[in-house]
Amino acid sequence: MAAPEGPLVIGVDSSTQSTKALVVDTATGDVVARGQAPHTVSGDGGARESDPEQWWQALTAALHQCGPAAGRATAIAIGGQQHGLVPLDAAGRPVRKAMLWNDVRSAPQSERLIEQLAGSDGAGPGAWAERTGSLPGPAFTVTKWAWLLENEPEAARATAAVRLPHDYLTERLTGRGTTDRGDASGTGWWSSATEKYDEDILALAGLSPALLPEVVAPGETAGITRELPGLPLRAGIPVAPGTGDNAAAALGLGLRPGQPVLSLGTSGTVYAVSQRRPVDPSGTVSGFADARGGWLPLACTLNCTLAVDRIAALLQLDREAVEEGGSPVLLPFLGGERTPHLPHASGLLYGLRHDTSAGQLLQAAYDGAVYALLAALDRVLDEDADPTAPLLLIGGGAQGTAWRETVRRLSGRPVQVPAAKELVALGAAAQAAGLVLGEDPADVARRWDTARGPQYAPRALDEAALHRIGHTLADAGALLQQENRRP
């Protein structure tokens, strides 16, 4: 690879399954070096947990894999999985394993908190959305803290600081407790209306604001790197605020308002940058902040590529062995669901016939996963958004033909697949580059042309499949709700 044309920066993606680190040339966006190390997720039933020390070890390993380039970096930023609860003791050590975004044990606490604020505020369930932009589903950090208070009070009492996953790594680098507005907006205790922590909600949740990190504004530094033995970084380089994974990917794409993104990973998300503060009392859309001062309305499903791969494994099929047509509907709610809000529901299969093939069942799983995301698309986009704009398809699933064709068939829209694969890490790198160059990180990403990639023309809309899935969801509503009430 040619010698770098500009200063080098590091962007990190600390996701559910692994940590990736990219060393990027700020002038060209070329990835000079990369590294990756895995994490372990544990938990049965609705529990999903990881030891935060693993994240630090994985970051260290990933940076070492980057070789000498890591030591020449002039800034670093961390993008990380959203929502996770990381309780720390007075020495900064984890009190227990972190509860991850897809841990749904706090569903009862979610319902109770919504009801309590509605009663105290007098504005109904929409009170949360008016204050924070979102209803706090089981993914949100505030519900996990409420769960911890009820189920592990000793751990809660031992907690001297509460952090999000990306906060934890940033604080290990700098020694300073910080977060950013994008990730803070996924906690349930940060107000998108005031851009401050909501003390009424914190009191309701039994959490002192003294335990929370400082919210660093876009473009500011979260601190500088410390002398850390074993970490191949120079001490004294600036650390950008970092952000949650979806906000980082939006930066990585250099998104402009109204450009819709469909992210197909362990979870599925649909989002777009907006200049208007989103408020959805139904809870379908989360009214997140972005990392630049704007907004990132987003809808998320728990069951995406992992769930469909599980169906393929049960059928003993390759994940691409789909057959279009047939009558089955398969709603792959294998681990509960977030959109629609069914945290304890299980999957549903309907419409089997003698001539139903295994490939048609697999296609039905893809259809069920994509349907929920597309159903939320209109709520995510502003009214003046271009309805014919291409859907930017990202995440691991974007590389699969079956995922791409399912999105085209059920959306009726063109699809563009950016060639860049590590958009969260690239977004973090753009944020770090913004510090070094004094530029808007989204402008940096646009200059890097990160969204370039093949575009696929729209297919005819499969009205029959949309009708079939929609009616099945409506007709099976009582059954799904009954299943959802089971512990």
Question: Could you give the residue numbers annotated as active site?
Answer: 245
Cis peptide before 418 (omega within 30 of 0): no
Q: If 0-12 CB within 10 Å is exposed, 13-18 middle and 19+ buried, where does residue 290 land?
A: buried
Is the separation of the CB atoms in 315 and 307 below 8 Å?
no
Buried b (16+ CB within 10 A) or exposed e, 149-188: beeeeeebeebbbbbbbbbbbbbbbbebbbbbbbbbbbbb
**Residue of 333, 332, 252 lying closest to 290 (CA atoms):** 252
CA atoms of 473 and 333, how far apart (whole Å): 12
The SS3 assignment for 267 reads coil
**Residue of 144, 152, 159 lying closest to 94 (CA atoms):** 159
- The DSSP code sequence of 356-367 is --HHHHHHHHHH
φ, ψ at 266 (rounded to 5°): -50, -45
- The CA-CA-CA angle for residues 461, 462, 464, to 5°, reads 140
Is the separation of the CB atoms in 191 and 131 below 8 Å?
yes
Give how far Cα 69 sits from Cα of 33, 110, 304, Å.
7, 45, 35
- In sequence order, the 6+-apart residues with CB closer than 8 A to the CB of 466 are 371, 410
Using only the alpha carbons of the chain, give its radius of gyration. Answer: 22
Tokens of 245: 């994974």
E strand or H helix at 18: strand 18-25
CA atoms of 91 and 387, how far apart (whole Å): 52
Torsion-angle region of residue 133: left (phi > 0), alpha (psi -120 to 50) or beta? left
H helices of 28-140, where? 52-65, 68-71, 107-121, 126-132
- The DSSP code sequence of 414-474 is -EE--S-S-HHHHHHHHHHHHHHHTS-HHHHHHHHTTT---EEPPPPP-HHHHHHHHHHHH
